[in-house]
Structure 1
Amino acid sequence: MGAQISGREDGRFTPLAVQGTTLTAMHYELPMASAQVKSAIIFAGLQANGETVITEPLPTRDHTEKMIEQFGGKITRRDNEIIVTGGQSFKGTDIYVPGDISSAAFFLVAGAIAPNSEITLKNVGLNPTRTGIIDVMEKMGANMEVILEESKGEEIGTVIIRTSELHGVEIGGDLIPRLIDEIPIIALLATQASGKTVIKDAEELKVKETNRIDAVVNELTKLGAKVEATEDGMIIHGNQSLTGGHVTSYGDHRIGMMLAVASLIASGSVTIENIEAIAVSYPQFFEDLTSLIQ
């Protein structure tokens, strides 16, 4: 697109220096489904001369597109293409930001696997590009109610979850981009389901805050679960009784929260290293989790 970015080894490594310049529209095909990369190109396209077209292999979360429209911008989806024209003008507006379903997911799983539980989560964002966790839990047999509420922007609602009898499922394909961040906690959920759960087509997990495939397998195994890593996901064997143990978050907030939820059903104490990583996305996590324990 004509950006001038310099850094170590021809701009491949930090520190990076970005020099302001005129951008040119482009047609870009995403090599893998990534909402973050897509959004970066959309924002660049808004500042570029011409029409930028982004092709996705699979649909990804569309918060950026919805936000642009709420501010009066124009962005078009045509099949698997997203089209944005540069030089647009925007107008201020009021935005209501719902609760993050990726954070809510830890309490959804806690409510499903901890004995004698019922949790009501209010003002949860229920954007269809993000509700893969709900689809999977319903498919596994979770005792769950989802109540949609009227909203002018992002879909919002209340979710009620109760202790559930679960069964294993296969998770893959176009469902993966809709729950990629929830896979660590889904893996924990699957340890408590009857049968086997297979997660595939999730290679992106290798390039998150840590390699989440290896991290999930390693740490759940330490707690007594039977989990096998595959090239693009994992296989989780269900009906596992978890024990206590010494585990680590690897500095990854989602791994840390998953392990904290695992401690609710472990037979012994669980010690988690690098727990401060959780504050990256959910500083009040332990306060909220403690408030639910009776």
Structure 2
Amino acid sequence: MGNSGTGARLLLGVLAGSQIEATLVGDVSLQSRPMRRVCNPLRAMGARLEHLCEEGCIPIRVDRTGPLRSIDWMSPVPSAQVKSSILLAGLVGRTKVVVTEARQSRDHTERLFTEIGAPISIRNIPSGHQVELNNPPDIVAPLDFSVPGDVSSAAFVIAFAALGGAGVSVTIDNVSLNRTRTGFLDVFSRMGIDLTIKETGSGNTCEPRGLITARPSELHATVVDAEEIPDVIDELPIIAVMGACSEGRTTIRGAGELRLKESDRIHSLVHNLQTLGVEVVEHEDGLEIEGTTRPLKGRIRAFGDHRIAMAFGVLAKLKGTHIEIDDPTLSD
């Protein structure tokens, strides 16, 4: 699985429902990523999962078992990966599953299930947001699907344009505008980025898509609190980096999940921002970044994390900075 945490967690759900024996492996980075949140509900459904090294981590052997049991699972933390793994286990294992979260997480899997004819229902309830898969079919419909551009990857291009790196406005076309994935655009707007967002329809995809235009902008600090974190968790590195180029102090809190990514992203951000001469305060669940107009220079440690390499790569491409990334190939 390389270092794909998403791929590993989703594939665990597929394997759990497939009645086959398999061993899921990954690189050193993936072996440190927590898998308990996915393994716990799958085991509750009857899956036999054995951790071959460290408990709660990959490598994991999936043993053949009997039919999976139905489950009504309350996720302790909203997670599209956990939800999708359970839904895939239910679909492949042909058993009813219900997943409840305190708030809605990304809904790409639910959209795909609807397209292939899987009987899925989605509703808001007093305790949060609930997804139910009932009576999964033996065979699902084929899907002719066009994948729109990844709006999260577009965040780096938007940031580069906003910081004046392109010198002119930049328009990104055919990009996903799924509202469960675009929370960072609200943060960017609060920071003063001049954006135009236009939806152009979905075409032969179940994802809304469109274009985003970003223009050079004067940035100012913002606060990202725990309520927003689930919607912007992957874009926090570039938000933090932009905070270093903004007027005022940018604060990110309630983001302890960053410590469980490809690297400890809180530590990675703090270490590298300090290397560049930026004033930073580290918290267990986040950080505070004091914006500066001083030229930024230094050697960045990516810690094997592509989003750290990409975020600081944006700064490295700006005029007046002298920044070197220790492993720029991570962002290829």
- TM-score, length of structure 2 as denominator length: 0.79
Shift in Å at residue 219 of structure 1?
0.7
| 1:2 partner amino acid | G
| 1:90 partner amino acid | V
Say which SS state the counterpart of residue 273 (structure 2) adopts. helix
| C-alpha separation in 2, matches of 1:192 and 1:4 | 50
The 3 A distance-change label for structure 1 pair 14 and 157 is closer
Q: Which residue of 2 aligns with 1:290?
A: none
Q: Which residue of 2 aligns with 1:5?
A: 49
Say which SS state the counterpart of residue 157 (structure 1) adopts. strand
| 2:140 partner amino acid | F
CA contact (8 A) 1:102 1:182 kept: yes
The 3 A distance-change label for structure 1 pair 168 and 86 is same
CA contact (8 A) 2:96 2:136 kept: no
| C-alpha separation in 1, matches of 2:195 and 2:259 | 31
Q: Which residue of 2 aligns with 1:232?
A: 285
| C-alpha separation in 1, matches of 2:143 and 2:59 | 35
Q: Which residue of 2 aligns with 1:101?
A: 151
Deviations 1:30-68 (A, max 9, x none): 222221121111111223464211111222111111011
| C-alpha separation in 2, matches of 1:216 and 1:207 | 14
| C-alpha separation in 2, matches of 1:57 and 1:160 | 33
Shift in Å at residue 131 of structure 1?
0.6
Deviations 1:219-248 (A, max 9, x none): 121112222221211111123434221111
Structure 2 alignment gaps of length 5 or more: 1-44
Deviations 1:153-200 (A, max 9, x none): 101011111110122111123322111100000111112221221111
The 3 A distance-change label for structure 1 pair 7 and 111 is same
Aligned length: 279
| 2:253 partner amino acid | K
| C-alpha separation in 1, matches of 2:101 and 2:152 | 22
CA contact (8 A) 2:175 2:209 kept: yes
Q: Which residue of 2 aligns with 1:82?
A: 131
The 3 A distance-change label for structure 1 pair 231 and 58 is farther
CA contact (8 A) 1:185 1:258 kept: yes
Say which SS state the counterpart of residue 135 (structure 1) adopts. helix
Q: Which residue of 2 aligns with 1:243?
A: 296
Q: How does 1:1-294 map to 2 (within 5 A)?
A: 1-8=45-52, 12-21=56-65, 22-48=67-93, 50-79=95-124, 80-88=129-137, 89-114=139-164, 116-152=167-203, 153-265=206-318, 267-278=320-331, 283=332
Say which SS state the counterpart of residue 228 (structure 2) adopts. helix
Say which SS state the counterpart of residue 5 (structure 1) adopts. strand
| 2:118 partner amino acid | G
| C-alpha separation in 2, matches of 1:81 and 1:5 | 26
Shift in Å at residue 93 of structure 1?
2.2
More displaced 10-residue stretch of structure 1: 196-205 or 42-51: 42-51
CA contact (8 A) 1:54 1:83 kept: yes
| 2:71 partner amino acid | M
Cα RMSD after superposing both structures: 1.9
| C-alpha separation in 2, matches of 1:266 and 1:211 | 29
Shift in Å at residue 249 of structure 1?
0.8
CA contact (8 A) 1:251 1:275 kept: no
Deviations 1:139-162 (A, max 9, x none): 222111111101151010111111
CA contact (8 A) 2:53 2:59 kept: no
